[in-house]
Structure 1
Amino acid sequence: MTRRRRAAAVIVRGDRLLMVRERGRGPSGRHDGQEYWTLPGGGIAADETAEEAVRREVVEEVGLRPLAVRYLLDVPYPSGLTSCFAVQVADGEPILGSDKISCECPIMVGLDWVPLPQLHTATAGLPIPTMIVVWDPTIP
């Protein structure tokens, strides 16, 4: 795991969680590698707080306007320790942002509201997946 700090948004509507589908670099060196679902988010710039970063990333990646942000927890991601925030957004449908990158970073290829699993516990709460790997039998 790298030392890069990240911030990610947990955006829930009803029983669904907004997630971004990304594709990593494959053997060819292009963005043709494994695909996976992840929370909207990204790196924290040197001149911003984690909360500022998550607000910026929500606008950039899914085109929604954050109204309220609440820190949840830090989670280890493959790309670095990630501060996750519950983010309340204004009404509207998300729109996939564009990655203008020419680096080894993953590229965004889609987004969707993913159903949250039903969980029966003695305490309130929602089971929030931070990443879901998409299995593709054609990729070795």
Structure 2
Amino acid sequence: MIKELPKQIFRFGLLVIALVCIVLIRIYEDFLFYDPFLDFFKRDYQNQVLPDFNSLQLFLGIVFRYGLHMILSLLILYLLFRDKKIIFLSSVLYLLFFLVLIGCFFFLLQASKQPNYLILFYVRRFLIQPLFLVLFIPAFYYQKMIKK
């Protein structure tokens, strides 16, 4: 038990660092990523016109942000559960969800002049925030509890 203490402290330290990194991504999002929708969705956007945006820059910014969140989330999941099957499943789900959500996001942006802003807001939210981590932790915890 005492021999395990340094490993547990190290894991806890890495967990805290990963969580701090997620918070720092949120704090410095204006500087790190190209996203003209950050200010748009902070205001009363329902009766506004979408801001001008560069599709390629927007795509690359979302990919970069989603990738950072995915890597940090997988690290957190590994530190919490230490199960490679969970990491593999989570990786596949992250990639699958990304493909579906990024397709929906750009379809909504390009499909009409006045897209449904609420749907656009939530699709974008899943792409730029670590919401899957918030969903995966209780799901995998519950699964582990059932197996015991």
TM bucket, shorter chain: under 0.3
Higher relative contact order structure (alpha carbons within 8 Å, sequence separation ≥ 6): 1
TM-score by length of 1: 0.24
More strand per residue: 1
Greater C-alpha radius of gyration: 2
More helix per residue: 2
TM-score by length of 2: 0.23
